[in-house]
Amino acid sequence: MSLEPLNSMGTVESEDDVIPVWGRIWVLPDDITETDPDLKRAKNFGFELPDQRSEREQLSQTEGKLVAVGGNAFENWKEPIPKAGDRILFDKYAGAIKKINGVTYRLIDDTDVVAIIRKNEEDNNG
């Protein structure tokens, strides 16, 4: 890999282009407009929310899918250890936000994860 100036490196085009390092993890937070009943109702009636409110609400989201895990992430954890594909709960306002093709992702510390969400097979099939 050659070292190029930051402005000539191009853009991130997919979630696979981001590899977290150290104790960081790459998370796809749930879309707040799909989980907040008021925002969902407004969207169903055709109302568009101001971008500022939508972004603020999305930043406060605390649940999502773990996409990738850095090499040292969760090294001090006991079982169970979260892995890519798991649904997790994380601290509000944690980490840095990156939009890729209109989808918002978060790069957060492993210490910001507060729970793994486990569901029974029956819940997933029903």
Q: What is the pLDDT of residues 43-73, one digit of tens each?
A: 677 766 555 555 666 666 789 999 999 999 9
Closest by CA position to 18, among listed 29, 28, 8: 28
Rounded Cα distance, 59 and 88, in Å: 15
DSSP track, 23-67: TEEEEEEPPHHHH-HHHHHHHHTTPPPPHHHHHHHHHT--EEEEE
Per residue in 74-123, pLDDT (tens digit) is 999 888 999 999 999 999 888 888 888 888 899 999 999 999 998 764 44
Rounded Cα distance, 66 and 2, in Å: 29
Paired strand residues for 90: 113
Q: Which residues of 20-51 are buried (b: 16+ CB within 10 A; e: fewer)?
A: beebbbbbbbbbbeeebeebeeeeeeeeeeee
Closest by CA position to 103, among listed 18, 9, 6, 10: 18
Fold category of 17-125 in CATH: 10 Kd Chaperonin, Protein Cpn10; Chain O (2.30.33)
Question: Coil, helix or strand for 17?
Answer: helix
Rounded Cα distance, 126 and 106, in Å: 30
Domain boundaries, the chain: 17-125
**pLDDT value, residue 103:** 86
